[in-house]
Amino acid sequence: MSFGELLAENRRLIVLRALTEVARFEANESVLRLGLQQFGHHVGGDIVRADLEFLERHGLIVVERIRVERGELWVAKLTGAGEDVAKGDATHVGVARRGVD
């Protein structure tokens, strides 16, 4: 596995874990990007959206795409399967395994 793949898997786990900590288990892409920055992932919005698309394709989140004046705002909502992965109760290919806290 490449270093880039390891980083992507880690980012996706951070997104899932962040969603377990917010109201209604949902947050917009800007908030999630700030959370990623707190864990050392300084990535652009295109990378965040690519990770959200991956998580959505795999049924771990649902993404609502809201039309705004300058395009779209993406809001991610955690699914039950995504919560299981975030908590370490399940694993998923393409998402880092949760370590011991």
Domains and CATH numbers, the chain: 3-87 (1.10.10.10)
pLDDT of 101 above 70: no
Closest to 60 (Cα-Cα) out of 82, 80, 28, 45: 82
pTM of the model: 0.94
Each residue's pLDDT tens digit, 65-99: 999 998 999 999 999 999 999 999 999 999 999 87
Each residue's pLDDT tens digit, 6-62: 999 999 999 999 999 999 999 999 999 999 999 999 999 999 999 999 999 999 999
Query: Residues of the chain with pLDDT > 70: what percent?
Result: 98
